[in-house]
């Protein structure tokens, strides 16, 4: 048993969708969350900058004496070199492999779409992972650079015309390819789950990477005997790199509940 916290990070608050799923599956685990809200989004940055930011995020979490690092960020998951993540002193989980496994299992015709940031799509990380699992698939990707901004600014209702039109624009080339499964390759995007569903006429299976990653984390902790043995509910510590005044309101959207736990503004080196 290991009662240390699980460390989770993202460029902003989208990673809280993964925290939400972790709290459901592992209610007795403590979680330390870092949202680099001062530098969100990562998806339009250079590869070198993304890697540098990710290393700073991970270093911050490791100083919290955590037992696992979860990169709840599609951009980091697609960009951080395995040569680095494999040498961390604790297990590292990102969203690419768990989501790729789920998509390959769920796709009926092997026509899988991927939406994400520019950096995520440029890396082709999801496509490479899926082709390593299933040889008969066709992968179609389209970057959606505006969606993180829309979500972070609370424009998330399915009735929001600006967001719906934006999602429709990004989905059009994927619809033309007759996809049967779609990976929401950024942890912000599940907040727009119903918008995606409506525009796809509920005919395409949507893959929530945060949910897939949470199940993957649970499996690793169980396999390695690292589940916390506390009987009470775990705690969550929230850390952000920008102002905290509006955090509770925005974070509650991602978490699906009111924020409980400390909220700290931190500096990354």
For the annotated catalytic residues, the residue numbers are 73, 186
Give residues with Cβ within 8 angstroms of 4, minimum separation 6.
30, 65, 66, 67
Q: What is the dihedral of CA 171, 172, 173, 178, to 10 degrees?
A: 90
Taking the C-alpha atoms of residue 146 and residue 166, their distance in angstroms, rounded to an integer, is: 8
CA separation (Å) from 113 to 89, 139, 154, 174? 34, 6, 25, 6
The values of phi and psi at residue 182, to 5°, are -135, 120
139 by DSSP, 3-state: which?
A: strand
Residue 264 burial (CB count, 10 A): 11
- For the chain, the farthest-separated pair of C-alpha atoms sits apart, in whole angstroms, at 51
User: Nearest CA to 40 among 248, 251, 184, 241?
Assistant: 241
């Amino acid at each position: 048993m290991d009662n240390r916290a699980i460390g989770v990070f993202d460029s902003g608050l989208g990673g809280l969708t993964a925290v939400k799923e972790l709290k459901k599956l592992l209610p007795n685990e403590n979680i330390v969350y870092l949202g680099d809200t001062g530098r969100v989004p990562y998806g339009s940055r250079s590869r070198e900058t993304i890697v540098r930011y990710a290393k700073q995020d991970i270093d911050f979490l490791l100083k919290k004496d955590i037992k696992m690092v979860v990169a709840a960020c599609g951009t980091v998951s697609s960009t951080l070199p395995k040569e680095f993540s494999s040498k961390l002193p604790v297990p590292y989980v990102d969203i690419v492999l768990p989501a790729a496994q789920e998509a390959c299992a769920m796709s009926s015709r092997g026509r899988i779409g991927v939406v994400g940031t520019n950096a995520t799509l440029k890396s082709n990380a999801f496509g490479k992972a899926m082709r390593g699992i299933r040889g008969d698939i066709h992968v179609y990707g389209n970057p959606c650079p505006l969606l993180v901004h829309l979500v972070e600014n609370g424009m998330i209702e399915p009735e929001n015309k600006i967001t719906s039109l934006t999602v429709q624009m990004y989905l059009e080339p994927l619809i033309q390819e007759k996809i049967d499964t779609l990976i929401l390759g950024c942890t912000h995007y599940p907040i727009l789950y119903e918008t995606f569903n409506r525009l796809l006429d509920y005919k395409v299976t949507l893959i929530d990477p945060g949910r897939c990653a949470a199940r993957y984390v649970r499996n690793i902790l169980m396999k390695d005997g690292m589940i916390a043995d506390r009987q009470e509910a775990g705690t969550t510590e929230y850390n952000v790199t920008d102002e905290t005044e509006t955090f509770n309101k925005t974070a509650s959207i991602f978490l699906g509940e009111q924020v409980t736990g400390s909220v700290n503004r931190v500096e990354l080196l």
